[in-house]
Amino acid sequence: MADPAAPTTPPALPPTPPVPLAALLAREDLGLRRIAGPDPHGGAAAAVQWVHTSEMTDPYPYLLGGELLLTAGVHITDPTGADGHLDGYVGRIVAAGGAALGFGVAPVHDTVPRALVEACDRHGLPLVEVPPRTTFSGVARAVWQLMAEARHAELRRVTEAQQGLATAAARPDPVPAVLRQLAARLGGLAALYGPDGAELQTAGQARDAVRRALRELTGVVRRPAPAAPASAADTAGPTHLAAYALGGGRGFALGVATDRREPGDHTIAGAAVVLLSLLTGEHQGASEADRSAALVRLLLGADAAQTAPLLGSERWSVVHARVTHSAGERHGTGAPAASGLAAALGSVLVDPHGPDGAVRLLVPADRDVGATDGWTLGVCAAAPTGELAAADARAARALRRAEATRQPLVRHHENGIAALVAPEEADAHARALLAPLTAHAALTGTLRTWLSLHGSWDRTAVALSVHRNTVRQRITRCASLLNTDLNDPDVRMELWFALTRSP
């Protein structure tokens, strides 16, 4: 066992928000009663991060901080407190950072010792009486339930805020609209600063002293890279300040000032940073009018290469995405929104109603696409606008592979031997080799998935949502039509090469 007296690194806080002690006391089914310590509704109200049960005379070495410590008082031999044990006991709990003490009445003690009540009042530790009908495990279960409810509420708040920000970014005056939405969601001031520190646009209200402090803080993130951090935080009296560098290294910054700081605020501000980086970027296309004109021209049959400059990038990564299984459950009542995914990936070109229920996005080639919570992604290597149709098909295949292998993200890369063959020759070879399957889309799709999963019947069945016997029948039919041995690795390699050239 580690030496209890040895210094330890403070533990990381749990991934769920703490539970106010007042919320636990409000549970009528528990019947808890505060009998000492500060008012749980006051400004310094206790918040419970963990629940721990201990009958040790000195629990200090085993506490992490933020606990509701539950005890039946087995260690209390002198309820009068004449030996000074109770005062020292409470003092050690406070020194360890305990949030509150819960004392279970019966079977050891019929009432909470008066000396313990007085000690808690002296040290400012909330003391809660736990009635005989309430078990300690019941108290712990109630804390976990309240934490889960708080976590779901936080995720719902973040998702709704991301949707609101994405909607604001699509308005005719996107920058002030995004700032107004951010200020409303966080309940404070949101401001955009230029490279010289000038306050370009603001939304919300704050005192002049807070505005000056916020402008000074943004100077930290406006410094030239790599010296500047991505974000910085400070306070101005009771006001919380946060500054974020906008992408592109051009010196623009977002400043936020709020009277309170909620767990999801940083995530919400991060979505605003992505959108504002896009809206203020020099290389994110021309005006919204130019972008709309480009899309209209594409719909009317114009050459995609001609519209590329108007769309703002000559190469794009195509992303296919689908909500991860059970993501809706983890995010509360609804699944993550496509607009939230678009904000996370830094793109405003999103089709939420793609084939097979997938969400499709075009992401500028210079932006890295990473795994995103709640989504399964298939990503195609960057392609010029004239080849986006083929890239779209490759991204769809990457998504199917990601779902079949239960990976959050799979990338399709055009490399190796395939990159050495001229596209025209590769396409001609693919058409000739796969000609017997041309009229059988289901067979072609099954063969592609089966090969991508190394001939696994079960994983192919899962990927295609069919029975494994159906997979076997289709692969047998493919072998017959192609008149080849699909157990031969050379045959598999050649077919895979051909299938990568086939939409």
Q: 316-330: per-residue pLDDT in tens?
A: 888 999 888 654 444
Q: What share of the chain is helix, strand, coil (3-state, %, to 5)?
A: 45, 15, 40
Q: Which residues does 119 contact at the CB level (< 8 Å), separation at least 6? A: 81, 86, 87, 89, 90, 91
What pLDDT score does 332 carry?
A: 39
What is the CATH architecture assignment of 19-145?
A: 3-Layer(aba) Sandwich (3.40)
The candidate with the shortest Cα–Cα distance to 102, out of 212, 4, 24, is 24
Residue 16 DSSP code: S
What pLDDT score does 98 carry?
A: 94
CA distance 340 to 344: 6
Radius of gyration, alpha carbons of the chain: 30
The candidate with the shortest Cα–Cα distance to 340, out of 271, 264, 267, is 271
- Residue 89: enclosing H or E segment and its boundaries? helix 85-95
Residue 445 DSSP code: H
DSSP secondary structure of 230-282: SEEEEEETTEEEEEEEPTTSSS-EEEEEESS--TTHHHHHHHHHHHHHHHH-T
What pLDDT score does 337 carry?
A: 64
CA distance 485 to 42: 76
Instruction: Point out the residues of the chain with pLDDT beneath 50.
Output: 1-14, 282-287, 327-335, 416, 419-420
What pLDDT score does 134 carry?
A: 95
pTM comes to 0.47
Q: What token pair was written down for 218?
A: 């943004």
Q: What token pair was written down for 8?
A: 């330890």
Q: Are 193 and 222 in contact (CB under 8 A)?
A: yes
What is the CATH architecture assignment of 423-500?
A: Orthogonal Bundle (1.10)
CA distances from 128 to 99, 149, 212 (A): 11, 23, 44
Mind listing the pLDDT tens digit for each residue in 126-176? 999 999 999 999 999 999 999 888 888 888 888 888 888 888 887 777 888
CA distance 266 to 175: 19
CATH topology of domain 171-280: Beta-Lactamase (3.30.450)
What pLDDT score does 1 carry?
A: 36
Residue 113 DSSP code: -
Gap between the terminal Cα atoms of the chain: 61
What b-and-e string marks burial along 314-345, b requiring 16 or more CB atoms within 10 Å of the CB? ebbbbbbbbbbeebeeebbeebbbbbbbbbbb
